[in-house]
Structure 1
C-alpha cells in the first residue's frame, strides 16, 4: 500500500475549489483521510490541507496531472509524503533545554525529522545536557566582524547536509537580513516571550519590571524583522508578584521547550501555511 500523501495549497478564494480538488483525488482512486480548509475573508484567500491515501496515483504522475488544476486557480501548492522524516539542522548557543527536548522527542518517534547536524557558536561542552550521540557537531564562533563569514559557513553546511528545516533552539544570535532571506519559510525560532511584547534581550526581566501576570513563549518563522516573523505557535503560563526573574526564567524554559516542539511538529506535518505576515495553522 502506498504511503499517505499530504496536499497543501493556497489561492484567491472562489467557489468550487474544494469540490474540484476532492473530485480530482477521487478520480484517481484517492481516499481522503483528513481535510481542512480556511477562507480568509479579510484577504479573500483560500487555504487547504488534504491528507489522503493516493490509491492508484503515483506521486509523480499525480503532480503532473494536478498542474492543470493548480494553474487554473493560480494555486501555490505542495505535495509531500506524510511520514518521511525531514532533514533538520539545529542551531544552539549555551541554553540547551530546547535542543535536549527536541532530540528526546525525535528519539521516541514524536517528531518526524532527521537531525543532520548541530551548529553552535560555543564549544560542544556548553550543551552538555543534550545527548548528541552521533549527530555531527560544528562549532562556528561569531563576532560582529566575522558574522558574514560565519553565516556563509552555515549556508554551506545547510547545503552539504541537504537541510530542509533550520531550527534556532535558543541560538542567541541575530541573523543578518541575507541569512534570514536565504532560509525564508524554513527557519523556525523560539522567542522566550509572548510576542509581540517584550522583544529583544532579557524579556523575562522586562516582564518582571512590568509586573506581568502571564509569561509565555512564541515560535515563529525567521524574517529580517527581529522577532516579527509569522507566528506558528504560542503558549502562556500565569505568574505572580512573588516570582523572581530567576523563577520566571525557570518557568519560561518549560514553556519554550513545549512551544518550539509543537511548532516544529506542525511544520514537519505540513500544517502551517503562510498568509502574508501571518500563518494558517491546521491542527489535529
Structure 2
C-alpha cells in the first residue's frame, strides 16, 4: 500500500538569477516531492526573487533528508527559506483593549475552523469582566494593566508569556497601546496590527475623526507588521468602503468595524498559510 502523504509549504527569497525554479523543483523531485501549488515573484526594483511552493511527500520521506536537499539549494543561491509541515498549526497570541469586535470575530473564525491556529492566550490591559459576553473557554486570559510607569514591566511579562507558550505570531486585535521599540524589535514579521485607516493616510489616534474632518469619500483599514515606527510597518492587507457627507464620525467608526474585522482575519489567514513574505519595507502576499 502507498503510505499517506505529508504536505509541506516552502517559502524562500534570494537575489534573482537564472535557474532558481529549476533547482528547487529538481530538489523536491529527487526528495520524492510532488508539487501541488507554486507561486513566484520577481521584484525588478530590488532584484529579489520570492517563491511559495506547496508539495506532498510520502510519509516515508524523512523531514531531515528533505531539509538537507533543500538546504543545499538554499546555500547555492544564498536563500533565506522556511519549510513547514502544514499539519502543524501556528501558535498565536491575541492582544486586545476595550474595543473587542476584532477579538470576537477572530474567536468565532477560530472555533468554526476558518482560522486553523492554536490560540496560546489572550492578553488585555482591561479586566476579564470587560469581555463577559465572549466565550474564552479553552483560551488562557491574562489581565496585564499598564501605565506609563509600568509599561516596561508589563511588556516584559507579555514577552515572557509569548516565549513560554511557544507563540509564533502576536496579533494586536485593536490593542490600543503602542509597543515599545524594544518589544517591536523582538518581533520582526511576527506581530500583526490592525489600524483603522487606509494607510499611509491618517496615522495615529482617532483616524476616523481625522478622515471625517477631511471629508474623505472612502474609509479603510490596514493590517500590517509592527515595527518601531508607528503605523509604518510592511502592509499585508487593506480594504475600503465608500462613505458620504451624510456620515458622522460615529457612522465611520461603525462602518469601520466591519472593515477592520475582515482585513485582520484575511491577514492572519495569509500568515497561517505562509502566503506573506517580507521584502524589505513591504511584503509580497501570494493570495489563493
Superposition TM-score, scaled by structure 2 size: 0.97
Contact 1:97/1:130, CA 8 A, preserved across alignment: no
Please tell me whether residue 157 in structure 1 is matched to residue 161 in structure 2: yes
Q: Contact conserved, 1:101 with 1:257, CA < 8 A, in 2?
A: yes
Query: Aligned-pair distance for 1:183?
Result: 1.4
Q: CA deviation at 1:240?
A: 0.5
CA distance in 1, matches of 2:149, 2:26: 57
Pair 1:131-2:117 in alignment:
no
CA deviation profile, 1:150-173 (whole Å, cap 9, x unmatched)? 000101111111111100000000
Gaps of 5+ in 1: none
Map 1:233-248 onto structure 2 (within 5 A). Answer: 233-248=237-252
The aligned residue for residue 41 of structure 1 is 44
CA contact (8 A) 2:8 2:83 kept: yes
Size of the aligned set, in residue pairs, is 284
Shift of 1:69: 1.0
- The residue aligned with 1:114 is 118
Residue 28 of structure 1 corresponds to: 31
d(CA) in 2 for partners of 1:159 and 1:36?
32
Displacement over 4 Å in runs of 4+: none
Task: Choose from 70, 74, 90 the match for 1:70.
Answer: 74
1:60 shift after superposition: 1.9
Stretch moving more, 165-174 or 130-139: 130-139
Task: State the secondary structure of the residue aligned to 1:125.
Answer: helix
Query: 2:263 corresponds to which residue?
Result: 259
Shift of 1:125: 1.5
CA distance in 2, matches of 1:233, 1:25: 31
Matched, 1:206 2:217: no
**Distance in 2 between the 1:258 and 1:159 partners?**
28
Tell me how far 1:128 sits from its aligned partner. 3.1
**Residue matched to 1:16:** 19
- Gap runs ≥5 in structure 2: none
CA distance in structure 1 between the aligned counterparts of 2:47 and 2:201, rounded to whole angstroms: 29
Aligned with residue 61 of structure 1, among 65, 73, 82: 65
Partner of 1:103: 107
Backbone CA RMSD of aligned residues:
0.9
CA deviations on 1:79-112 (whole Å, 9 max, x unpaired) are 0012321111100000111011111111111111
